[in-house]
Each structure stands twice: as C-alpha cells, then as structure tokens.
Amino acid sequence: MKSDRKGKNTKKSGWSSSWAKAFLIMGCILFVGVMIITSLGTNWLATMKSARSGDIAYADVTLKDELGRTVFTTNQRIYNATLEKGTVAWQASPMTITVNTTTRNLVEPINAYLPATGQVSFAFLGPEYNQIAAGLEGMKQGETKHITFTQNPSFQQEVDKEQFAQMGGNFTMAQDGDLTIFGFTTSPMISTDNTTPQYALRTVTLKNKTGTNITVNYGYSGADVTILKLSSGS
C-alpha cells in the first residue's frame, strides 16, 4: 500500500514539474518579446498611427498632368523613369507638409531642379497643395495614396496667336499635348514697397489648338503621395 502512495505522489510531482517548465518557457518567450519591442523604441508606433490634423508628414509627392504624365516628383526612381520616357520633369526633395494645413497663396514656390534650367523655383499651386494636405489625413507611415484634384476652370486659359507669342510660345510649332514652361508671379505685380516681383516656373499642357487659338492648362490631374515619416504635431 505504501508503494502505491509513492507512485501517486511521483505522478503528481511529474505533472507539476511539466507545468512549471511550460510556464518557464512561456516566461522566457514573453521576456524576449518585451526586449525586442523595447529595442524598437517608439518608432514602430508611428507605422500604426493614422495621420491627424496638425501632424507633420515628410512625404514623396509626384504630380501628374491631365494625360497622366509625371511633371514633378520628389522620388529619384520616378524621376529617372520619367526621363527615360522622354518627358521632362521637375525634381525636388521630399516635402514636409502639415496635415490639413491650408495656404491662401495662389503659388507656393518649391526649390526644384529642371534639366537645362538648373535649380529654380517651381510654382506649386496653392489649391493643389491644400488638397494634398487634406488628403494626408488618415494615411499611415509608408502608405501611398493617389489624390485626384478638383478641376478648376480658372486654371485654363484660351489665348490667340498674339497672346501666345507674348507668353513666349511658338504658335506654329505648338501641338495638342505639348508640355511647355510658363512663369508665374509669386508676389503682387505692383508692390507698395517697390520690391521686384518674384517668379516661379511651372510645366503647363497645351490643348484644343485651332487655326487661331490654343488653350493653356495650368492645372494638374492629381498627385501620388507616400508618407515617408510621420510625426506628431503636438
């Protein structure tokens, strides 16, 4: 009878030992997991956080014209691919944009590079900038989104031969779909303090050419935006 009790105790002791080992293994796994998360700091949280008003987004921005051609980009790979297709595009550094910020300026100058011209100011239209800033809300770090711009009729202008020539264009050689560079003033033409007006350049699209007139489209169709880094605005 004594031997039977000893057998029962041995079985119970073995069962307890197995569970103790299991808990020990689980504890070690949990400890390693905590160590890994701790080593990542708080950066990993940014990849899970959605952009809110006031947050700061460091982003790649690529602007497309109405025919879907890249005319401006902050992405080196996209810039190189655009040049290989024979389209001249602007290249700039990634942009820092506050989510849901707005500008009242018609033109926001962006320092950019254009082949054969060099480093000059690109005319980023204020309404398009505002739509990008609004479109960032809800995005996460690493996410890419296409933002379609609201088409503004005032961003198109029909001009005749003489007006087009005054703008520096060659009416005879111009064809529908051509891209050309136009200048935009970033300050009032008539300044109260006698300062010289500042200018920025922008790629525009020509269309609807007739025997006497042609339409110049300043606006773009939309933008592809990727948040490279997202920071809290508070």
Q: What CATH number is attached to the domain comprising 193? A: 3.10.50
pLDDT exceeds 70 at position 139? yes
pLDDT band per the 50, 70, 90 thresholds, residue 200: very high
46 within some domain:
no
**How many structural domains compose the chain?**
2
232 and 138 share a domain?
A: yes
Range of the domain at 73: 52-234
62 and 22 share a domain?
A: no
**In the prediction, which pLDDT does 194 show?**
57
Read off φ and ψ for residue 27, nearest 5 degrees: -65, -40
pLDDT exceeds 70 at position 206? yes
Q: What is the dihedral of CA 158, 160, 164, 167, to 10 degrees?
A: -70
Q: Could you report how far apart the first and last alpha carbons of the chain are, in Å?
A: 75
93 and 189 share a domain?
A: yes
32 and 145 share a domain?
A: no
106 and 139 share a domain?
A: yes
44 within some domain:
no
Residue 6 per-residue DSSP state: H
> What are the counts of helices (DSSP H) followed by strands (DSSP E) for the chain?
5, 12
Instruction: Please write the tens of the pLDDT for every residue from 105-128.
Output: 999 999 999 998 899 999 999 999
**In the prediction, which pLDDT does 187 show?**
63
pTM beyond 0.85, yes or no:
no
35 and 59 share a domain?
A: no
Question: Does residue 141 contact residue 49 with C-beta atoms inside 8 Å?
Answer: yes
213 within some domain:
yes
146 within some domain:
yes
7 and 111 share a domain?
A: no
How far apart CA 105 and CA 127 sit, in angstroms, is 8
Question: Of 155, 140, 150, which Cα lies nearest the Cα of 216?
Answer: 155
Percent of residues, the chain, with pLDDT higher than 90 = 64
190 within some domain:
yes
141 and 194 share a domain?
A: yes
Instruction: Please write the tens of the pLDDT for every residue from 37-68.
Output: 455 555 545 567 899 999 999 999 999 999 99
The mean per-residue pLDDT over the stretch 61-76 comes to 96
164 and 69 share a domain?
A: yes
111 and 11 share a domain?
A: no
**Encoded tokens for 190:** 């008539």
Least confident stretch, 52-56, 89-93, 151-155? 151-155
216 within some domain:
yes
29 and 102 share a domain?
A: no
106 and 8 share a domain?
A: no
pLDDT exceeds 70 at position 148? yes
pLDDT exceeds 90 at position 32? no
62 within some domain:
yes
pLDDT exceeds 70 at position 183? yes
The mean per-residue pLDDT over the stretch 59-80 comes to 96
